[in-house]
Structure 1
Amino acid sequence: MQGSIAKPPSKLATVLRVTSGNFLEMFDFFLYGFYASYIAKAFFPSGNEYASLMLTFATFGAGFLMRPVGAVILGSYIDRIGRSKGLVLTLAIMAIGTVLIAFVPSYDSIGILAPFLVLIGRLLQGFSAGVELGGVSVYLSEMATPGRKGFYVSWQSASQQAAIMAAAIIGYGLNQVLAPEQIHDWGWRVPFFIGCLIVPVIFVIRRSLQETDEFLARKHHPTFKEIVLSIAMNWRLVLAGMMMVVMTTVSFYLITVYTPTYGRNVLKLDGADSLLLTFCVGLSNFFWLPVMGALSDKVGRRPLLLAFTILPILTAYPMLNWLVNDISFQNMLIAELWLSFMYASYNAAALVALTEVMPPQVRTVGFSLAYSLATALFGGFTPLISTWLIEVTGDKAAPGLWMAGAAFCGLISVLMLYRRDGVTMRAWAKA
């Protein structure tokens, strides 16, 4: 009697397995942004609230500086050893950073060691995240049904929106059952503890990932030296890819991580309202990402990328200016949903485009390096820059200018990467 042949996992099961690590990454990142003011008082005490918040967001941004390092080191590992093994490694490193931030005692308990350990946790998370998004996007693009890459790759970002919604629900629940003093003292740590409990589950799920057929079909897997040389030879692709991602990463951190702080500290909305707004933004993103990813499969990447760089240039600042002149929960919801629509529509086309323009032999490291450079230099510091812009200009709508500038970078990159004759910069790639 012959043994039965194991049935390959469904596409849905594979998508869930590969995007699970993204869920954890964004769950923790969002928590840091929402509880920034509490973290500032716990680890970065200062007589000046603005200074404490700036130190907190600087530490948040410092993690992004490790992303390019992780992109090159871990990205080359994934391109050389395999997609599935690399994604398990990134999850392990990310988990260590999450545990550190959750359990570090306050400044009052251990002094200067507290902010130092928080910084180490952020650096480890940044090192891992430098390739997490790229590794997942490449995996999804290589396992996608032909002609549907945009739809499949969009679920990488959609999984992050699910994490944002989950974190917002937990935060909203804490606001309902705990007094403000309890949240300030210890309650803000509870969601981080929950994130630690999720880690073992995700680790088991991700260990079952199978290698992609496209990677297994390759006869040559480049060495670390070959990968670095190839990236150096294709620096124009990396630069153009980085400019493309600036719009994605700036707008994402503006409408998700920074929104709770913006609503509570700048617009003086209730903390629970800020969380509800963020949940609505996550839900909007979750809807639009796969819809627009599928649309990019039908009409092409270039039309969507052009449309949704021009729209933010024209409307991002006017929308926030309208909001700050008539502050209310309803108006902020309208403004955030509009920014969400522009972000999700652009991102759905941009990420799959980045997997397509990179040479296959360095696809993960090329994608990850372009994305991590954009995040490290621009997106990751969006909360910090937004806080600074409002302080120096006195204009509460100033973050809209930052988003418009990011959209302009995206527009230039689209014109560089996609010619009217249909030729992409990928044609210039050097082996």
Structure 2
Amino acid sequence: MATAPTSSKLATVLRVTSGNFLEMFDFFLFGFYATHIAKAFFPAGDEFASLLLTFGTFGAGFLMRPLGAIFLGAYVDQVGRRKGLIVTLAIMALGTILIAFVPGYATIGLLAPVLVLIGRLLQGFSAGVELGGVSVYLSEMAPPNQKGFYVSWQSGSQQVAIIVAALIGYTLNKMLSPAEISDWGWRIPFFIGSLIVPFIFVIRRSLQETEAFLARKHHPTTAEIFHSIVENWQIVVAGMLMVVMTTVSFYLITVYTPTFGKSVLKLSEVDSLIVTFCVGISNLVWLPVMGALSDRIGRRPILLAFTVLTIVTAYPAMAWLTGAPSFQRMLLVELWLSFLYASYNGALVVALTEIVPASVRTVGFSLAYSLATALFGGFTPAVSTALIEMTGNKAAPALWMTFAAVCGLGATLIVYRRGEAGRVVTAAAE
């Protein structure tokens, strides 16, 4: 059956991004409650070591992403977008439920952190293709002149997850004491995530296959897909470097923000959650706006402009914040970094679906995204924590974001150099 008509495209977007929402919701919770998770599962001699172990476990999930991208991505390109997205949801749900119900270290000892790690690895394996599967589905069901706008809602669903997670966290802080949250209250959002799994599974099952996939006369075998990825390794590497900018920025301004505000700036947890909520709103506004703008003026101008802006302004903004920490300064700086991230990402995700050959679009996109997240973005909280500890400079995380922007700028110049322009358009049309 073909993709739903235009009148139901909004419903289709909501159905396809629902699983992406759940995946990101659980990822954010791990970052939001990192200090409590550290105490429950990774007790150590000092707060820094405990927190680093927690963020190391958080980052370990990202190491599974390339494997998920390769194996699940090949599966999606072979059997279809719809079936693949149902499989990723099932794997993701297993990881979520495991983390929600694992007893603490005090109860079952070393088995506790091991089970949490397994849950994170399952989530990472699923996430390896979730973003790619959703992005490719949206790009293939979108009208030709609105692909940037439609694909931006893949990232948009992540921002809704940030907003919901921050609202739940804020409510818990108002209803429970700090001791209750640290003891058991931090688990409540994870339970909520587990409870919505059946609902998302039902609505995702109603997805229809995309016309672009059904119209393809030849669906490559797994061996053919792997061969094509090897042949197109330069595209994958360039795409990975482009994604470094977006994934580092994303995890810096979302997952790391609550810990940064509380542990580094010594602001209240409520202040940090409010800032995170506002960042989610800001991202949700700018992503579709810039996605739509990229449909009008092209991807290249936006990608170049916002990597340069990030290189020039990220560190000065963070230095201004850490020079005299306050809620107001943190809000202003995080909203600026949000503008940089969302503007770049609004053009980046659709650009990535365009530069990867159509026959291996899901696995190629997912592999580029997963490698960037596994090697750079996923370890942003851990790298930020380590940079501050090693340098004594509270603004040091901005140096990591600046480095990511340099990667994005260089890759964009390579992909969109004059000789490549025609090939990029051709790849999009295949």
Aligned residue for 2:312?
A: 314
Aligned residue for 1:3?
A: none
Aligned: 1:337 with 2:328: no
Aligned residue for 1:14?
A: 12
Pairwise CA distance, 1:7:
7.6
Give yes or no for contact 2:254–2:279 (8 Å, CA) kept in 1: yes
Aligned residue for 1:55?
A: 53
Give yes or no for contact 1:293–1:349 (8 Å, CA) kept in 2: yes
Q: 2:116 aligns with which of 115, 118, 140?
A: 118
CA distance in structure 2 between the partners assigned to 1:422 and 1:105 by the alignment: 53
Aligned residue for 1:241?
A: 239
Deviations 1:375-420 (A, max 9, x none): 0000000000000000000000000100000000000000110024
Aligned residue for 1:203?
A: 201
Counterpart residue type for residue 158 of structure 1? G
CA distance in structure 1 between the partners assigned to 2:277 and 2:206 by the alignment: 31
Aligned residue for 1:164?
A: 162
Aligned residue for 2:321?
A: 323
* Superposition map of 1:143-222 within 5 A: 143-222=141-220
Q: Summarize the Cα distance change of 1:424–1:345 in structure 2 as closer, same or farther, 3 Å threshold.
A: farther
Question: Helix, strand or coil for the counterpart of 1:94?
Answer: helix
Aligned residue for 2:302?
A: 304
Pairwise CA distance, 1:427:
7.3
Question: Helix, strand or coil for the counterpart of 1:148?
Answer: helix
5+ residue gaps, structure 1, are: 1-5
Question: Helix, strand or coil for the counterpart of 1:204?
Answer: helix
Deviations 1:6-34 (A, max 9, x none): 98570100000000011001111111001
CA distance in structure 2 between the partners assigned to 1:191 and 1:292 by the alignment: 31
Question: Helix, strand or coil for the counterpart of 1:56?
Answer: helix
Deviations 1:82-101 (A, max 9, x none): 00000000000000000000
Mean Cα deviation higher: 413-422 or 360-369: 413-422
Q: Which runs of 4+ in 1 moved over 2 A?
A: 6-9, 424-429
Mean Cα deviation higher: 40-49 or 367-376: 40-49
TM-score normalised by structure 2 residue count: 0.97
CA distance in structure 2 between the partners assigned to 1:370 and 1:281 by the alignment: 26
Aligned residue for 1:409?
A: 407
Pairwise CA distance, 1:138:
0.2
Aligned residue for 2:251?
A: 253
CA distance in structure 1 between the partners assigned to 2:57 and 2:258 by the alignment: 18
RMSD over aligned CA atoms reads: 1.5
Give yes or no for contact 2:4–2:208 (8 Å, CA) kept in 1: no
Aligned residue for 1:230?
A: 228
Give yes or no for contact 2:22–2:193 (8 Å, CA) kept in 1: yes
Q: 2:104 aligns with which of 92, 103, 106?
A: 106
Aligned: 1:79 with 2:74: no
Give yes or no for contact 1:237–1:426 (8 Å, CA) kept in 2: no
CA distance in structure 1 between the partners assigned to 2:262 and 2:179 by the alignment: 16
Pairwise CA distance, 1:230:
0.3
Pairwise CA distance, 1:426:
3.6
Counterpart residue type for residue 117 of structure 2? L
CA distance in structure 2 between the partners assigned to 1:30 and 1:18 by the alignment: 20
Aligned: 1:353 with 2:320: no
Counterpart residue type for residue 345 of structure 2? N
CA distance in structure 2 between the partners assigned to 1:385 and 1:199 by the alignment: 32
Give yes or no for contact 1:31–1:167 (8 Å, CA) kept in 2: yes
Q: Summarize the Cα distance change of 1:145–1:179 in structure 2 as closer, same or farther, 3 Å threshold.
A: same
Give yes or no for contact 2:94–2:122 (8 Å, CA) kept in 1: yes
CA distance in structure 2 between the partners assigned to 1:188 and 1:175 by the alignment: 10
Give yes or no for contact 1:418–1:424 (8 Å, CA) kept in 2: no
Question: Helix, strand or coil for the counterpart of 1:46?
Answer: coil
Q: Summarize the Cα distance change of 1:310–1:104 in structure 2 as closer, same or farther, 3 Å threshold.
A: same
